[in-house]
Every structure is written in C-alpha cells, then in structure tokens.
Amino acid sequence: MKLLVTGGAGYIGSCVGTVLVAQHHEVVVLDDLSTGFADAVPDGAEFVQGDITTAADVLGRGGFDGVLHFAAKSQVGESVAKPDLYWRTNVTGSMALLDAMRVHDVPRLVFSSTAATYGEPEAVPITEDARTKPTSPYGASKLAVDMMITDYAAAFGLGAVSLRYFNVGGALADRGERHDPESHLVPLVIDAATGARGRLQVFGDDWPTEDGTCVRDYVHINDLAAAHVLALAATTAGKHQIFNLGSGDGYSVLQMLSAVERVSGVPVPYDVTGRRAGDTARLVASSSKIRNELGWDPTFTIDDIVRDAWVFRTGKPTV
C-alpha cells in the first residue's frame, strides 16, 4: 500500500514506519521535527518536513491507500501548561488531516489514541467501553479526535481504527525512544543506572498495589507495530473501531527497576519521593478485544522491552 505516516520521525512512527517499509509498503513521512529527528525517518521512506495541516499537499499527489497518524503533542504536564498547543496540534491538526483525506479519497486511517482518554479508571483492567473522563488537556484532545473520527467514518465512509496505547517501550536495532524531556519510565530507569541522569525518583510507595508503587501496562514496539499492520488490514469503510493496546499485564515501578537491573547487571539508585499529582495506582488494559477481533498476539516480554531499550539507549550489550 501507499501510506502516509505522520509523525514518522518520532519514536513510535519511525519504528512502525520501518516495519512497514520492510513489508514493502511505500511510505511517505510527514513530520515537522518539533519533537522528532530527521535521522529517525525510516530508511527507504520519503520524508516531507511540514506541519500536519499541510497534509493535503502530500495526499493531493494521489494514490494513497491509507494514513497512519502518529503526529501529536503527547506530554501530559505540558498539556496542562499549554492547552492551546494541544488543542491546535492534536485536534485542529487532525481535523485538517481528515479533511485532506476526504478531499483526496484516502480510504483508511489508523490513529494513535491513548489510555489517557479514560482518565481515572472505575475498574481495572480497562475495557474499551469504560467511561472516558480524561484528566488532562492531552487526554481530552485525543478523545476529541476519536469522537471526530467516529463522525467522519459514519458520514463520509472513512474506514478507521484507533489504537489506545497504554505504555510503549523497547526499540528496534537502530530506532528507539529519544523524547526530550523524557517522561517515560524505562528510559528514565536506564539513565539512572548509567548515571546519565541522577537517581531515579519513585513517586510514592504507599499506593494500593503489591509493593506500593504504581502499576502500568507495557507493550514492546515490535508488538505495537504488528498491531498497526493488523489494524490497517481490518479497516472497514464507514466504521470506526477502537481497541486498547496493552498487554493485559501490570508491572510496578519497582518491578521495572528490577528488570533493568536483571538484564543490565547494573544497580539502579533510586529515592522514593511523594506521590505525583494526577497519578493513578494501576492502569492496565483489557487486551481481549484486539486479541479476539484482530488476532493480535504479543510475544515480547518485559525483559525484551528493557533489554532492547538498554541496547538502544546505551549502545552497550546486556549481560
């Protein structure tokens, strides 16, 4: 297929784009490099530097079979301080993309949604029919896009799949996570182990979990890429399907720290500080829907996630 990958210079878009090129799809990346890197654009993909609001210029060339829409602002804290940036980029930007797809008859969309659309869960594991009550402008902006996609699919025949990622980790051999500032746990634990950043701050050990630290659900970038390939094939004209993308297993902050120590052989210095505002004890996906309906079958373990992230981030082998 001929595919537009927005945000293909970022962590997830560059990795999924690399997998798509390897599967012989023709990939065009549109990215403004606001948080991405030109050298992350998949080898073999065409790179257009620009804002998503200019998607019509690319799609207007014709022949596109689908769009994978990763481009977004995605820092929860930043979204509280700069809601205008989040509503403009994530909502106005996505609307411009959807309108360009409509004008140029692009039939398929796979959208990077997020667990942040649910907010504080009433029950865990979180199913797709759980209440959506986001607690940040980031989550609200992504939920708004999901709602927009539902309406565009119903009215204009778009075939769309939203994947609500929980936590994504791991790396390909030459592409991985390079957020700045980094807010994700796995790279932060690795940096604490290598001394690249001070001691790890663990936000509270008095949560109602097995060891008192927060529990999250992690998916390896390779398993996430496989879900995108399945989603692309599952798009159906006029239908918007929403799937959680989590493993269904939860790991605490201290379990992740132990995993880094286990695969690297390096101790991770840490301090327990107070709880962080807005945190939640346990965020774990129900992955039944995507397993049952798309046949998604993740195979990478927590140690795989940590090992591949370690090798990418440090350039050093594990033990």
**Longest Cα separation, the chain:** 56
Which residue from 18, 20, 42, 74 is in contact with ligand NAD, where contact means CB under 6 A? 74
Q: Which is nearer to ligand NAD, 1 or 76 (CB)?
A: 76
Which segment (9-17, 152-160, 269-277, 308-316) binds ligand NAD by CB under 6 A? 9-17
In contact, 29 and 52? CB cutoff 8 Å: no
Catalytic hit among 86, 118, 138, 251: 138
- Angle at which helices 93-103 and 137-156 cross, to 10°: 20
Under rule CB under 6 A, residue 10 binds ligand NAD: yes
In 3D space, the residue among 138, 140, 139, 121 whose CA is nearest the CA of residue 129 turns out to be: 121
Rank residues 70 and 251 by Cβ distance to ligand NAD and give the closer one.
70
Closer CB to ligand NAD, residue 9 or residue 149? Answer: 9
Q: How far is CA 213 from CA 9, 156, 284, 302, in A?
A: 33, 46, 14, 17
Q: What distance in Å separates the CA atoms of residue 300 and residue 303, rounded to the nearest whole number?
A: 8
Binding residue for ligand NAD, selected from 17, 31, 98, 130, defined by CB under 6 A: 31
Using rule CB under 6 A, residue 119 touches ligand NAD: no
Q: Select the residue interacting with ligand NAD from 19, 68, 71, 97 (CB under 6 A).
A: 71
167 binds ligand NAD (CB under 6 A): yes
Q: Does 181 sit behind a cis peptide bond, omega within 30 degrees of 0 on the bond before it?
A: yes
Site for ligand NAD contains 52 (CB under 6 A): yes
Q: Does 36 bind ligand NAD (CB under 6 A)?
A: yes
Q: Between residues 159 and 187, which has the closer beta carbon with respect to ligand NAD? A: 187
Other beta carbons within 10 angstroms of residue 189's beta carbon come to: 26
Residue 11 is a binding residue for ligand NAD (CB under 6 A): yes
Cis before 125? omega within 30:
yes
Q: Is 152 a catalytic residue?
A: no
Q: Is the dihedral of CA 125, 12, 94, 105 positive or negative?
A: negative
Binding site for ligand NAD (CB under 6 A): 6-7, 9-13, 31-36, 51-52, 70-74, 89, 93, 112, 114, 165, 167-168, 179, 184
Residues with a known catalytic role: 138
